[in-house]
Structure formats: C-alpha cells, structure tokens
Structure 1
C-alpha cells in the first residue's frame, strides 16, 4: 500500500472510531424508566480545524414515541437570549439605540409596565436608572418570576397548563407576586439572572422595529440565515412537518404545557443544525460586526460556581477550551469556540438528568480531540 493511501486509510478508520465512541456514549445515557427519564439526546459537534463533523439524535420523541433523528427539533429555552441580544446590538449598529442608554426612555409609554415602579428597593425607585446594557447582562437587580416564586409559579402552571401568556400578562404576574418590591440589589451592583430583563428587551425590540418580536427574529435572523426549522413557539404559526422531542422536568413532560410564559427569555424551538448555522454566523460577523461581538463576549464575573456572563452570552470553559454561547433550561446548549473553530449544540431533553451533564459533554468533546 502506498504511504499516502495508508495514511488516508488510517485517518478514515480513526474518524469512524471517534464517531462510534461518541454514539455509544450518548446511547448509553438514554433511559426511559427512571424518575428523571432521558428519552432522547441530540448532539452536534463540529471542529473546522480538524474537519470533523458529527450530528446525530438518539432515543424516542417521548417514552412511547417515534425515533428521533438528527433533524428533530426542541425547545431551546434560554438560548433564545442569544437571538435577543444579537438583535439589540444590530439596532445599536443601526443608530436606533445605545446600550448605555436608560431603557426608561424607550418603554415609559407602555402603560401596563408602570415603569417607575418596576424596581423598588427599600422604598427607593431605581427603575429609571436601569440601562439596556444592564438588562442584557442581568445586572439590573430585577427579581425573577420563575426562581423567586418557584413553587407558586409552577403550581399556577399546573392548574392551568394550556394558558396562553403574552408580555402584558407576564408583567402582571410579576406585579401580582410583589416582585417589583423585592429586587436583589441596586442596578449594576451585582448579578442576578432574571427573565424580566429579557421581557423588557423584547418590548424594546418591538418598539423600535414596529412589529412583533417573532417577526423581528424572523426578519433579522431566521430568514437571512435560512434557518428553516426554527420558530417562535406559541407566538407564530409554523407549518413545517418536523419531529419535536418532548422535554422534561423530572417526570413532568413540559411539552404538554403551554410555555408561552418564556417569550423573549426562552421561546424559540430549533434544531441543532439550525443553531449551528446561527452561532457560526454570529462569530463570522454575518449578523453583527466585530465591535459588537466583542461587546457581547466581554464577560464579567457573575457569582461563585457560575460561568462568567457577557451580553446575553455565557463563557463556558470545557476541556480547557473557551466556548461562548448559552444554556437552556431543559439541558440544552449552543456555543462556539473561536480558538479551535468548534461548534457545540446539544439537547439532553431532561432538566434534571441522573448524570452530570458537564462531565458527559466533556467526554464527548475529548473523543473529538
């Protein structure tokens, strides 16, 4: 055998062995019978510098559902925040806002916001001091309707699982729970993850684009990139025939629940291939310019045991490589590593799996290395 052919033969078999190791590791985590079932796992791995590409799906759409494929879709939850922050930075590039501006000037006329009373700490009103940048980076101090009233919120959802929410009803819920009087700190004096920040950013986009948030996302990102299988669930019609997996919190199937309460904080459904298109376009300056991207990934300390955060984006260090991206509630992630030109996107379909997701993904990436 000629040396060149031998090398090609060796490399081909090595890549096949990598793929087999990854697939076996993923398949071993499928579990349909535990109290925290993992009915499906979807994984996308790409390393441009090594010419490596992997995109597969394992398991069933639900316990007794159809087999998933690599093209199955899923709720990306808080990874939606990447799309929102991208649009905000697009608007800044267009001269329609400055992220250092106070958000009050843009939203003060939305009556149901009652903006001046959104953030009251020790009887002092701080709402009008909050900047767009503080919303993007979760440094406003706002409380969160999910974390700060977890039992109340999920009890309410369980009582009315088909309720359709909208921005107005989300803000009304925030006030009903008296969260406007329970912020965590004075704006810019800490870090606290709250979807209320992104509800306000969604409203800001609608004000400046003069259309619905779902249409802004479609006009500015989905259609230009050809993301055919991504849509804003419960806020727009979607006629593509796709296989969407069920996603769980313990043994509760949240795909049976109307999750329109996620809105700008987490309302998109997508596929790994579509998310890869998005994150690669973001880091290729096809959505925002280099200056804007540098603002986005200029991460800062958050809190102990929490990844550093920028403008709608996490810094995720795994196997000594730095990825920038965002996690989603049902154990999803999409991110990009500029150093190795690697793309990572996955959905584990379970918010509370019985295994350590970080170690699991770390092992998968080690096979690629």
Structure 2
C-alpha cells in the first residue's frame, strides 16, 4: 500500500514508495542530484542502474532486481539474493490497476467518476465528519477526498506493522472493517480542498467496483487487464497468504529500523491491503502493464486524459503530480516519467515509464528498512550514479 519511506519527501514516499499498507518511517538513502551522470555508453548498458541495485545491497538490502525496456530491447539486472524472474508483492502499484478498471467502467457508461460515493456505497462513508454524499469516486482516485488513511491509525499500525504482526499476519480483514477503522477519525480536510494520500480511498474504490460489477474487484482486474495483456506472473491473491514461485524471501524489521532483528515476512494476509495494495507481479509484467496503459491500449483517449490529469504537488516535490492512480515525477535530469511505487512488508517497488511508454523500468528490493528505490529510477532514466554508501 504505502510506506512513508523511499524518496526525497513525504510526497515521494507516499507516492514513489507507493505508500504501502505501512507507515514505516525508516531513513532512506537518496539519489544524489549532484552526482555525475553516466556517459552515453554507460546509459546504454544500464551501468548506473546496476550501480543503484548494488548500492541498495551495500546499504543492507538482501537483494534487488530491476528490468528495463527501451528501443525494443529488454535488460534485467540483479544484486544480492535475487532472481531476475522473481515475483514480489507490489503494494500500491495495485492502485493503478484499480483506477484503470474504474475508468473502463466509466467508458462503458456503467458509472461516472463524479458520482458521489454514497450512490454506490450507501452509509459506508459516515462518522466523525465523513460524508459519502460529498465525496466523489474521482476524489478517491486522486486522493482529494480528505478521507482518513486507515494505515495511519495507531491501533492498526501496532497490530499490522509492529512486532504484533508475527501473531496477526494471517488475520483476515474485510474491506468494510478497514473503512470502519478510518471512520473512527475525523477527515483530513473537506473533500476537494486539499490532497493527502489515503489507502482508505482505494479500499473504497475496490468496493465500488464490486458494487458495479457484482463480483470481487480482483475478478475485474483479472478479466480486464491481466488476461488480455497475458500477465502470467500477476495475481490478485485475495485471502491467500503465500507467495508463488519463483520469489525470494521478503524481510522486515517490523518498524525497528537498521540493526533491529530481521524477520521473514513473505507470508501475510493480503486482506490488510485489498484494492489499495494486495497484488503480486514481476518486473516484466509491470512494464507490460504501464506501457500498454500509457500507449492507450487499456483506455480510450478521454479516459487516459482523465487519468493523467494530475493534482499539482510541485510545492512538496518539484515536478510531481498525482492523477487517477498514476503519479508523475520529474527526475533530476528533467525527464518526466509516469507510474507508481509500492511498499508493503519486506517489499519496496517502483514501476515507471516515459509518457509515450517507450522507455520503462520496474524494480523491487526485498527489504523495507533501507535501500533507495528512487536511485534506481534516476539511474535508469537519467544515468545518474547513486550516492556512495558510507
């Protein structure tokens, strides 16, 4: 869903790190904007991307994997204990899949993104100032709803992300239970007046899909995206806590930070994330998805235009914006990329592409207390070498 660690600010952490279902506030290595760019030849052989993967391992990450496609060619790099075909939990990258389905349903005339949430989920968004009659589906998707973030709730954090996780890792949560936790808190702001990343928004978005289609939201993702694009490594696990093969273990200190005991957290109940962050994929499939999306193969032109109409977040992070389940970043070299990041226990991911979809990258590290995924983006798209690990 979304962790609060990865890039240069809380915004980058919420977006680039995808804001996993966690709120782990661990220090992150940051790509050095002033670091020398690699020469053109090095960019072609992905030297800076390789260096960023190795830097993550040098910083204490057990393993890192990345795959890039450009100019019709594919490249895969690994460092540490990782395989190039590893599958991993993608966290908040799930949000782009969820948003895509809702935009497809709008294109079919089955709902309008400007419908109030109350129309589809009567009585669900109520309590402590929350009012589903004043929140639209669109505001869920671009995080302008003001709805409190369930993963910020102290009790939820303690049970799901702290040491108590080891006793509760297989607990099952219903979407309504997740929303109910959020409803115990006041809204962050009046709908449409500001921006704040909230995983609750996408739990609700998944519930809207289920109300419109009459089936689990994951079935819509499978039938509308996974099967047509032949994403063979991509799954919506539902209640299955296991990881498919091939995959490497996911490791976490459960909020303890560097030096704390490390735990294998590969198995967990995906229900803690639902449509905000439960999916599993690999680097190849994620690139296929984002390339197809940005090249107009999943949405009509109007739908893609709506998806890429972004809330301006440049005050928090220069050049950043958040559309409908899709983030825009302007990298240090001036290049603009679109995609999403994701973090969940023991897994931090990035999946981005240029607006034309011709150059793409997907990467993952199997730890959540250190390592700089933003540096991998900078390395691939800008040829920027990572800051040396001290």
1:39 pairs, out of 41, 57, 62, with 62
Q: Is the 8 A contact 2:294 2:356 kept in 1?
A: no
User: Whose RCO is larger (CA < 8 A, sep 6+)?
Assistant: 2
How do 1:1-369 residues align onto structure 2 when only pairs under 5 Å count? 14=41, 18-19=45-46, 22-31=49-58, 37-48=60-71, 51-60=72-81, 68-108=82-122, 114-115=123-124, 117-118=126-127, 120-121=128-129, 126-149=131-154, 151-153=157-159, 154-155=161-162, 157-175=165-183, 178-179=184-185, 182-235=186-239, 241-248=245-252, 250=257, 251-302=262-313, 304-306=315-317, 307-318=320-331, 319-329=333-343, 330-338=347-355, 341-353=358-370, 355-367=371-383
Q: Map Cα deviations across residues 213-266 of structure 1 (whole Å, 9 max, x no partner).
A: 221111111011000111112436999643244143543443243342011100
Q: Is the 8 A contact 1:73 1:245 kept in 2?
A: no
How many angstroms apart in 2 are the aligned matches of 1:312 and 1:16? 29
| Count of residues in Structure 1 that have an aligned counterpart in Structure 2 | 330
TM-score (norm 2): 0.76
Q: Is the 8 A contact 1:191 1:303 kept in 2?
A: no
How many angstroms apart in 2 are the aligned matches of 1:75 and 1:129? 33
How many angstroms apart in 2 are the aligned matches of 1:223 and 1:360? 29
Larger Rg: 1
> In 2 relative to 1, CA 239–272 (structure 1 residues): closer, same or farther, beyond 3 Å?
closer
How many angstroms apart in 2 are the aligned matches of 1:297 and 1:252? 38
Q: Which residue of 2 aligns with 1:4?
A: none
How many angstroms apart in 2 are the aligned matches of 1:14 and 1:58? 21
How many angstroms apart in 2 are the aligned matches of 1:252 and 1:241? 20
How many angstroms apart in 2 are the aligned matches of 1:73 and 1:99? 32
TM-score (norm 1): 0.80
> In 2 relative to 1, CA 215–78 (structure 1 residues): closer, same or farther, beyond 3 Å?
same
Q: Is the 8 A contact 1:42 1:70 kept in 2?
A: yes
Query: How far is the alpha carbon of 1:356 from its aligned partner?
Result: 4.1
Q: 2:113 is paired with a residue of what secondary structure? A: coil
User: For the aligned residues, what is the CA RMSD?
Assistant: 2.8
Q: 2:293 is paired with a residue of what secondary structure? A: helix
Q: Which residue of 2 aligns with 1:9?
A: none
How many angstroms apart in 2 are the aligned matches of 1:159 and 1:283? 41
How many angstroms apart in 2 are the aligned matches of 1:21 and 1:201? 38
Residue ranges of structure 1 left out of the alignment (5+ in a row): 1-12, 61-67, 109-113
